Structure 1
Amino acid sequence: MSAKTDKLLSILKLQPVVPVLVIDDAATAVPLARALVAGGLKAIEITLRTPAALEAIRAVANEVEGAVAGAGTILNAAQFEAAVEAGSEFIVSPGTTQELIDVANDHAVPLLPGAATASEVMGLREEGYGVMKFFPAEQAGGAAYLKSLSSPLAGTLFCPTGGISLANARDYLSLPNVVCVGGSWVAPKELVAKGDWAGITKLAAQAFALKD
């Protein structure tokens, strides 16, 4: 196992659920991240789906004690470089391209590449990847599909993301090939808009308790 894989696993094993955040206003990033960390969710994926994303990553990386800031929805080399420059400690992509693999090879920051089919998983294994994001999890076949991959593709670990909630997270977390899940339900837009950080800490603590 490579040093980068070790580093990635050490981050993903911090908690059973990695929050997947879409941040519209960078000013909310720090209090939101602090609320999540207070509930036990230290590794935080901030998706590059908004103009505020890079500023949010930089703020969380610099200002939130205990947080491990990561960048999600990374689609190309330029975004990868920008996310690393902003302070991301891990990078997440919805799928995988050769361009992403090449830029990831040039950096110490680990990539969690996206895969949804057995062929994609096999291709990533050939590139040296043993830990992948399974996305979009529910739409691609859910926990039953992922379970069916565990024997023929033994040794590969996944972080399923997409359509996962408190209601079905355990279905995934009980699988031998799942290291954690990604979910947006721990930071609902309405609670962020209201600044209900205590409510978000409560949701984070519920999610953290799934490890038991």
Structure 2
Amino acid sequence: MSDLNQKLSDIKVVPVIAIQDASKAVKLAQVLMDNGLPCAEITFRTSAAIESIQRIREAFPDMLIAAGTVLTTAQVDDAIQAGADVIVSPGFNPTTVKYCQQRHITIIPGVNNPSLVEQAMEMGLNTLKFFPAEASGGVDMLKALSAVYPVTFMPTGGIKPSNVKSYLTLPNVIACGGTWMIPNDLIENEQWDELAKLVKEVANIIA
């Protein structure tokens, strides 16, 4: 198992965050670090993503930071420059995968069917995002895939407190991505104590 996979396996749940204001990034990261989730997937769905990654990386050099919703090679460059540890994309784009390999940064691309899994394996990938997880068959689909393919998955999309453990018990699931513990309104309103409670609840569920 690679160092990255080991870290993901230890953490179990990766908070997926579309942060709107980079000035709040460090405080948010502090809440995650202090309450049992020392990682974050900062998605490129907002213009604050690059600066947020930069600020978190400077404040917490050892935190696991993923750049999420990466769709282009230019965004790969931005993520690397900002200090991301890993690239995560919602789909499987061979151009983006090849570019990440050229830049020597790990990418976890999204797949949700056997054909995409095989295309990813053909390019040497064995850790994949399963997205959108619940809409694509959820636990049953992952069980079916595990019978055929020697890869591990990070399911994301529709993961919540009521089903996260059913995913994490699967032998081919390394970690889950989720948004429920980081509501955007709590970030915007700087309700750090409320966020801390939600993060602690996740840590307790997966302990």
**Ranges in structure 2 where 5+ consecutive residues have no aligned partner:** none
Deviation at 1:66, TM superposition (A): 4.2
Q: Which runs of 4+ in 1 moved over 3 A?
A: none
Tell me what 1:171 maps to.
166
Tell me what 1:41 maps to.
37
Tell me what 2:178 maps to.
183
Matched, 1:158 2:153: yes
CA contact 2:86–2:107 (8 Å) conserved in 1: yes
Residue deviations 1:164-201 (CA, integer Å, cap 9, x gap): 11111111111111011000111112221221212222
Alignment equivalent of 2:100, drawn from 94, 104, 112: 104
Tell me what 1:210 maps to.
205
CA contact 2:32–2:39 (8 Å) conserved in 1: no
Matched, 1:84 2:80: yes
> TM-score normalized by structure 1?
0.93
Residue deviations 1:101-155 (CA, integer Å, cap 9, x gap): 21111123211111111110011111111110000101111111111111111x2
Matched, 1:67 2:56: no
Tell me what 2:8 maps to.
12
Q: Distance in 2 between matches of 1:11 and 1:112?
A: 14
CA contact 2:181–2:199 (8 Å) conserved in 1: yes
Percent identity reads: 38
Tell me what 1:140 maps to.
136
- Tell me which amino acid in the other structure corresponds to 2:120: L
Cα RMSD after superposing both structures: 1.4
Tell me what 1:25 maps to.
21
Deviation at 1:63, TM superposition (A): 1.1
> TM-score normalized by structure 2?
0.95
Q: Distance in 1 between matches of 2:142 and 2:161?
A: 18
Q: Distance in 2 between matches of 1:192 and 1:70?
A: 19
Residue deviations 1:90-111 (CA, integer Å, cap 9, x gap): 1100011121121111123211
SS at match of 1:24: coil
Tell me what 1:53 maps to.
49
